[in-house]
Amino acid sequence: MHRRAVRRTAAGLTLAGALLLPATAAAVSFSALGPVPMGGTPNALAVADFDADGLPDVAGTVSASAGPTASPCACRPASAPSPAARPS
């Protein structure tokens, strides 16, 4: 089964993500549809299982234009349960 989620941001950017179910599947893809303001430094995006819980994690970095407090951030696709919610 294939689920597709689309989210619109305040800046008019459309983010679309696709996740193969079940949530432990390895294939995850995310794409941006529309204008993407990149500035002088493009944002990096990586999809991998960073915390070894069997679920794909999405990690990105905040652009340098965000200021001196720019730091890495990580998030999980909305359809993936948190590790605390999974039965052991």
Q: What is the pLDDT of residues 22-58, one digit of tens each?
A: 444 455 555 555 555 555 655 556 667 777 787 777 6
How many angstroms separate the CA atoms of 64 and 2, rounded?
Answer: 35
What six digits make up the tokens of 38?
């990149």
Q: What whole-number percentage of the chain has pLDDT above 90?
A: 0
Is the predicted pLDDT of residue 13 greater than 50, yes or no?
no
Q: pTM higher than 0.75, yes or no? A: no
Residue 14 has pLDDT above 70, yes or no: no
Place of tokens 């990096």: 44
